Amino acid sequence: MAHPKHKTSKQRRDKRRTHYKAVAPTTATCQNCGATVQYHRVCPECGHYKGKLAIEKEANL
């Protein structure tokens, strides 16, 4: 069995253990208002999803 001659640093160990790449989520434009929305999410601006009203948004006073 092999024996390490030097301690592996926490940074080097953690870099090896990552199995993902940090990427920005894919976005689309809302069909109703044109705002930028994440895929498969309700529009935070107007409350529509796939062209249908999903949640009621209160009017700003």
Task: Evaluate whether residue 9 is within a structural domain.
Answer: no
Task: Evaluate whether residue 18 is within a structural domain.
Answer: no
Overall pTM surpassing 0.85 (yes/no): no
User: Does residue 61 register a pLDDT over 60?
Assistant: no
Q: How far apart are the first and last CA of the chain?
A: 72
- Please give the tally of structural domains in the chain: 1
Q: Specify the amino acid at residue 58.
A: E
Task: Evaluate whether residue 3 is within a structural domain.
Answer: no
Task: Evaluate whether residue 35 is within a structural domain.
Answer: yes
Q: What is the CA radius of gyration of the chain?
A: 23
pLDDT digit string (tens) for 2-54?
898 999 999 999 998 888 778 888 999 999 999 999 999 999 999 999 989 99
Task: Evaluate whether residue 50 is within a structural domain.
Answer: yes
Task: Evaluate whether residue 60 is within a structural domain.
Answer: yes
- From the list 59, 33, 26, 27, the residue with the least C-alpha distance to 48 is 33
Q: Tell me the residue range of the domain where 42 lies.
A: 25-61
Task: Evaluate whether residue 58 is within a structural domain.
Answer: yes
Using CA atoms, how far apart are residues 12 and 2, in angstroms rounded to an integer? 19
